[in-house]
Homo-oligomer: A and B are copies of this chain.
Amino acid sequence: MRSVVALAGGVGGAKLALGFSQILCPDELTVIVNTADDDRFYGLHVSPDLDTVMYTLAGVSNVEMGWGLKDESFRTLGKLKEYGLDAWFNLGDLDLATHLFRTQMIDEGRTLSEVCAKLTDALGVRHRLLPVTDDPIRTMIETDDGMMSFQEYFVKNRCDPVVRSISFAGSENCRITDDTKESLVNMDLLVFCPSNPFLSLAPILSVPGFREMLGSYSGKSIAVSPIVGGKAIKGPAAKILQELGHDVSSLGVARQYVGLCDIFIIDEIDVSMKESIESLGMEVFVTKTVMQTNQEKQQLAEFILDIST
């Protein structure tokens, strides 16, 4: 039996997690998810990455929108706008149920992990999904237009402002959850999903105790580049790499994982970078990493499992 831990942010991570979930038994896979994009909107606790992974694994995600639930409608938000609310953070009517449910439970004193377990149960997700921490941690983006929360940067300003630095407010007071710790102790494979290294994986790594757990781990750590052919499959990874002064390439990403991963997977289109990345001290594998079909998700997951044994 395998014991695979996948670290994931939003869409890219969710795709690979889905691939794993279709070839591993429920007790062979744990997905640890970034919670630093969480925020309160309209009084509700929204957990964008947890929901993206959860909806994706449940087969109910809205693939066209790239977030939320399929067959969605937006009547409540429309009405809130009529009431004069600057409702720039869009939430669907079905999605709202998730946030109402979560907020009520959290306000009653339950943890994000407990809520996540209840929601995944209800949605029929059998593989384990864990928030990295139950404590508040918030990505803050310092830009040329000032400091802003992740959602202000990502949704309200459509990633337009030039990023100067990224920090994770509250991370110093976070603790990794017991379940997260246990999964890290027992894992025999660690996968850094093709998520944004700065916005999705760095906050996970910033939670006190997380890096220390990796230090005492002797198994394989494999990262998949979210940059393919110099472009991000989705989201602002390429723009942020450039603005923070890094190479906009899988090599630029690989440098972020030095000391963390021993295997780095790049796309066939980036085969020319193999040697440069190897010179960072990583073993490099080349395969098709762009996951559109279900089959492609499973193939990448299978490839990772194969090279890790």
Contact = CB atoms under 8 A, between A and B. Distances in A.
The quantity of this chain's copies bound in the complex is 2
Contact of A98 (B44, B79, B104): B79
A73 interface: yes
A255 interface: no
Contacts of A73: 73, 75, 93
Interface residues of A, number: 27
Interface in A43-86: 43-44, 73, 75-80, 82-85
Nearest to A107: B43
A122 interface: yes
A50 to B, nearest CB: 14
A103 interface: yes
Interface in A108-145: 118-119, 122
Nearest to A73: B75
A213 interface: no
A94 interface: yes
A42 interface: yes
Most B Cβ at <10 Å: residue of A73, A104, A118: A104
Given A42-B104, A103-B43, A104-B42, A97 B76 contact: yes
A93 B76 contact: yes
B76 A94 contact: yes
A183 B261 CA distance: 72
A100 interface: yes
A80 B79 CA distance: 20
A42 B94 CA distance: 14
A94 B77 CA distance: 8
A101 interface: yes
